[in-house]
Chain A
Amino acid sequence: MSNTLNKLSIDQLQQDDDFKSRHIGPDAIEQNAMLDLLGLSSLDALIDKIVPESIRRQDVMSIQPGLTEQQSLAMLKKMASKNRVLKSCIGMGYYNTFTPPTIQRNILENPAWYTAYTPYQAEISQGRMEAMLNFQTMVADLSGLELANASMLDEATACAEAMTLCQRMSKSRGKVFFVAEDCHPQNIAVVKTRAATLDIELVIGDPLKGFDELDIFGVLLQYPATTGEVKDYRAVCDQAHEKKALVAVAADLLSLTLLTPPGDFGADVAVGNTQRFGVPLGYGGPHAAYMATRDAYKRSMPGRLIGLSIDSHGNPAYRLALQTREQHIRREKATSNICTAQALLAVMASMYAVYHGPRGLTRIAQRVQRLTAILAAGLQQSGFTLVTENYFDTITFETNEKTDEFMQLAVENGFNLRKLNDNLLSVALDETITAEDVETLWTVLAGEGCVLKVSDVDETVNPELPEEFNRQSDFLTNQVFNSHHSETDMMRYMRHLADKDLALDRAMIPLGSCTMKLNAVSELMPVSWAEFGGLHPYVPLNQAEGYQQLTQELEQMLCSATGYDAVSLQPNSGAQGEYAGLLAIRAYHDSRGEGFRNICLIPASAHGTNPASAHMAGMKVVVVATDEGGNISLEDLTAKLEKYGENLAAIMITYPSTHGVFEASVVEVCELVHQHGGQVYIDGANMNAMVGVCSPGKFGGDVSHLNLHKTFAIPHGGGGPGVGPIGVGEHLKPFLPGYAVVDNGPEQVGPVAGAPWGSAGILPISWAYIAMMGREGLIKATQLAILNANYLAQRLKDFYPILYTDPNGMVAHECILDLRPIKDQTGITVDDIAKRLIDYGFHAPTMSFPVPGTLMVEPTESESKVEIDRFCDAMIAIKKEIDDVDSGTLDKDDNPLKSAPHTVVSVSGNKWGHSYSRELAGYPVESLKVSKYWPPVGRVDNVYGDKNLVCSCPAISEYEEE
């Protein structure tokens, strides 16, 4: 091969724009081959054919040319260095923590964990489900309640979810929810927002004074209180229960190693943040919050729950339990709209507990408490008046006219304290605080003359809390929390779990609507930097200038990409974005004296979170029919507008539709709705088919959420984190979510999450993705997402009918394979095909959404033609197997589809009871002999799992019975 490179100039040799070709799977040759198959001459011709003329973007997206990975990292480093990382002793549920390095490297920075999807396909998700079951066990044990979920978006929303759980489960018919006034302010703020649309009356007061004549259905307490005070709530629980109300407690998990846990003092629900279990602060998120409750309320529990079941061989296997609660199934009647949660962070927190074990955690807690007692004693000796009597890690003391001075002095010495009001300061300690830190705090507060030594004061303090506060019950007795304490064991345990799973590091994950694209390492690296990780969400803004720059630039980028005028980054998931967007619509109508508008039109094919969010926003859902082509039926829409027009609040549509088609009528739909005074919510989960090509903010949308964890490269983490920012038109800007605790946020609508910028800690990912792709790269990504999908549809359409296409026979960025005819003809179901794909080494496409009996396939732009072909070949080979079942060559019941997936144990065991060969079972295609993923379990039994619900690690004794 002749070397032409030596003819290039030094400038030409600089690979300026090479990130986009790293992100995009198919190279030019592959692109041409795919275009050829489709009979198209260019990517532009493809887009012209598919995206309706009426919505095409007219303006140029104002995004800079792409950066290289090094340039992006350098710019982010510069930004990060503008953040000032002090030791924040602010508390309020957010603490400094030591992330065990082995967890940072083997979980947080390991694609086997962060690129996995939500474990709907149980057989290929056993590893992460074990980690999440550990999380549930940890939470249930520490909170003293029977079962816990995995996980909630943050503590503040968990409080709001606890409120609605109390309302569903309480036998009281009351409308009042009582919130203790010493809850963290962000918890109160988010609960207020939630209550406002649900007709719940909040009473905020002192629960120790009783509930008088209040008609309460529930109570929210903070334990320890926001001041740090630990109170005995037994009597409060009794009084609430006398009124048939339930009690929810927002509790600090670390403190529960020492304190009587909520379950033991009578609470019905516990919620809280698990951030201090080794998850960086990240300026507010992402962190896993938790919810635990009594067994009796399990079906009212929001969010995902891992349960133990059995597989087809009768062996234990994990699965997602009680899914009938979830919004995919229950729509507006779901217990909650929570979908994407905080799986990766829950895994990290659970591993922190595995790493430290019960003794290690108790020791950390004991040390924190002792240091706090020492700090308190020193302050008292220096003349301060302590307001907190019994405390764990937080004390409040009187500072009166010197409050601001102390705050300032602390900052100068490297600490953030919390100003409770003009007269009171509080200090919250954590595992990172040292004896020197405490001594520094003494000099800050008591003056340079203070020469107290921690070791001296230690001898004088009595660290004992009164008897009633001391925890009596055991926790974390399971083997898993008591065996992996060396780094070698820990490393192998995490590797052992990761090896059970299928994530993007092994194969494409063609999940429709989920956009499992590349999460490039250079996008993720900054997440681990201390300058991003170490900031408490409520530090003064002048310490977070790097973050302010990051969020403003990202907001600007997202405005350019969507055509909206303003963006809020606060929502922690797509569903939370939906809720925030609908609150904006609601408040907008209200501001115009049309607060009565409460009808939300939603097509039957919408994602389940849409109706669930509408319900939470206090709207009534009216379903709009789709026509036989899968498009919104204009006839039905007109009829519904006719009928509900006067009370119409909004329509929620997804674009391109959940059927994977660019509907040409979208402009007309938007216009019709506007004519009737409604607002248009465009679900932006499919934004990856539009960036640079058309903008929802310009073709009729008033508000959209984006899933940064789909379109903008944030990894799925096995079911979270997510970021669901909303973009809005100018008229809705005043109605973006407000800020808890931090000043100067929008003021018309309350906050939807505790941290003003939500999961700020992972925003560098999307910033880097956009900055490195650049304008051209982003457009290219859109084009390739569409090209890949159409190529895949073209290759598969003769084997599986494509359910919906546009009039030209084209799809958008995903397509639906209709498997119903196969089921009618042969009895082979979607499940059989999905599980058989595992034998071929693939994660199944999205099952039965939006149409039961189908698979929805989305390749994304990041997959090369080679990988897409490998997938298509597998699907075609499976079709051949189905044909063999049909023709009788394979048995109707005993065939590799019905018995899929096959474990290595079943294929290699001495007994082989099947009428087909072991080779067909395990190695249906030759290439698998070189590299093969074996699922650790056979098909998981769903019915058994829910009937015999086990949601925590089985006790050692149960293993012994086996």
Chain B
Amino acid sequence: MTKSLVITFVGDDRPGIVESISKIIVQYDGEWIESRLANLSGKFAGILRVNIPEAKCEDFTAALKSSAKGLNINIEQVVKEQSSEGHTQCYKLELLGQDQPGIIHRISSVLANNGATVEDLESEVIEASMSGEKLFKASITLCLAEGYSADTLSEVLEDLANELIVDIELG
């Protein structure tokens, strides 16, 4: 049996972050399923899903946390395994807000806590027209595990921060 974990992390950007994480995953016979990583205003952040043999989960978690110098890491178990029969509902989520360090981490935690698995995440930080503010823009395809509602998710996300604007479309 393998367990599916969602790992989110954020920290100052430096060479070798991805390399060090992937090394540990390999070390514990894990499988790097999917991920989106980005450099935001000097911070490097990522969300990834890995499958780890159940027996090695604890050790893996400990190893990852201790090896991650300067990284703020969060590891969550996928609340409900995404079933291949497609019992889940998929959505397109557009997020827009002022950029701030750690924003992707906060978002990804909310997603993970609300039964959302990220299928695809594209994000960028751009300078806003006219005002020049730094904007964080993300386009996420996510699937909700059974029992979770998109309305609730969007409310929780909107609550996340005043400055975040969230659009959810059924995909």
Hey, which bits of chain A sit against chain B, CB under 8 A? 118, 120, 299, 320, 322-325, 328-330, 333, 608, 829-831, 834, 846-850, 852-853, 942-943, 946-947, 949
Contacts and interface: CB of A to CB of B under 8 A. Distances in A.
A947 B165 contact: no
B98 to A, nearest CB: 5
Interface of B: 94, 96-100, 126-135, 161-163, 165, 167
A846 B130 contact: yes
Nearest to B97: A324
A328 B130 contact: yes
A329 B132 contact: no
Given A324-B135, A831-B132, A942-B134, 11 more contacts: A299-B165, A323-B133, A324-B163, A329-B128, A330-B165, A608-B129, A831-B127, A850-B129, A852-B127, A943-B100, A947-B163
A329 B127 contact: no
A248 B152 CA distance: 27
Contacts of A320: 131
A831 B128 CA distance: 10
Contacts of A329: 96, 128-129, 135
Contacts of B98: 324, 942-943, 946
A685 to B, nearest CB: 14
A947 B164 CA distance: 10
A900 to B, nearest CB: 13
A401 to B, nearest CB: 58
A948 B100 CA distance: 14
A847 B165 contact: no
A120 B131 CA distance: 5
A830 B130 CA distance: 11
B129 A847 contact: yes
B168 to A, nearest CB: 12
Nearest to A118: B130
A613 to B, nearest CB: 16
Contact of A830 (B94, B127, B162): B127
B166 to A, nearest CB: 10
A847 B163 contact: no
Nearest to B101: A943
B100 A848 contact: no
B128 A328 contact: yes
Nearest to B167: A333
Contacts of B167: 333
Contacts of A120: 130-132
Contacts of A830: 127, 132
A774 to B, nearest CB: 34
B127 A853 contact: yes
A911 B137 CA distance: 39
A322 B97 CA distance: 9
Contact of B131 (A333, A829, A847): A847
Nearest to A827: B42
A852 B132 CA distance: 8
Nearest to B133: A942
Contacts of B100: 943
Contacts of B130: 118, 120, 323, 328, 846-849
A322 B128 CA distance: 12
B102 to A, nearest CB: 12
B161 A848 contact: no
A299 B98 CA distance: 13
Contacts of A852: 126-129
Tell me which of A330, A834, A853, A946 has the highest count of chain B C-beta atoms within 10 A of its own C-beta.
Answer: A946
A328 B134 CA distance: 13
B54 to A, nearest CB: 41
A322 B129 contact: no
B130 to A, nearest CB: 5
Contacts of A942: 98, 131, 133-134
A525 to B, nearest CB: 32
Contacts of B132: 120, 829-831, 834, 847-848
Contacts of A299: 162, 165
Contacts of B134: 942
A905 to B, nearest CB: 24
A947 B163 CA distance: 6
A847 B126 CA distance: 12
A831 B131 CA distance: 9
Which residue, B98, B132, B133, B162, has most C-beta atoms of chain A within 10 A? B132
Nearest to B96: A324
B96 to A, nearest CB: 5
B12 to A, nearest CB: 14
B165 A848 contact: no
Most buried by B among A120, A324, A829: A324
Contact of B163 (A322, A333, A850, A853): A322
A831 B127 CA distance: 9
B128 A323 contact: yes
